[in-house]
Amino acid sequence: MYQRIVFLTALTRNTDFNKVKFFKYNEGEENKSRKIVEQYFERKVFNYIEQDKKAGRDVEGNEYVDVDFLMKLINTQCQNSNELLTIDFEDGRVSSNITCQRVNCGEARVKDNCIGYCKNCNCALSDKIKSIKRQKGIIR
């Protein structure tokens, strides 16, 4: 089973999650789906914090990206390729191409420092950064 969350109001680009409808879901299912998406994003934020901590970036303070921030990226466009940022359900599992790209790579993923990027661009960028670092001998 494969489903993609779409906004009924996509044409007006309204990102209010309350107006999001899930195809073929009844109201109970819709709440359940929302929960699943929230949990998915909670894990994502947790991983971001771990990554930032590991890299020695400051994760204190309350402006760190949160579930709400990620929710608002749904059905917006990647700031690099204009790819639509989406959430997909397949057999009850969530997948998404939504990532937070840090504008200033020296800073943690605080809200002011993050823009929505699709997975492809995010990976391509980090590969590019890796290859530059490799050239400069910073990493091997």
What is the binding site for Zn ion (CB under 5 A)?
A: 78, 80-81, 83, 118, 121
**Which residue, 22 or 48, is less far from Zn ion as judged by CB?**
48
3-state secondary structure of 90: strand
Side-chain half-sphere of 123: how many Cα atoms within 13 Å? 5
Query: Which stretch of DSSP H or E encloses residue 47?
Result: helix 27-54
3-state secondary structure of 58: coil
Q: If 0-12 CB within 10 Å is exposed, 13-18 middle and 19+ buried, where does residue 78 land?
A: buried
Report the nearest approach of Zn ion to the CB of residue 16 (Å): 24
**Which residue, 113 or 122, is less far from Zn ion as judged by CB?**
122
Query: Which stretch of DSSP H or E encloses residue 135?
Result: helix 119-135
Report the nearest approach of Zn ion to the CB of residue 102 (Å): 15
Report the nearest approach of Zn ion to the CB of residue 119 (Å): 8
Report the nearest approach of Zn ion to the CB of residue 41 (Å): 19
- Are the C-beta atoms of residues 41 and 68 closer than 8 Å to each other? no
**Which residue, 38 or 83, is less far from Zn ion as judged by CB?**
83
**Which residue, 70 or 118, is less far from Zn ion as judged by CB?**
118
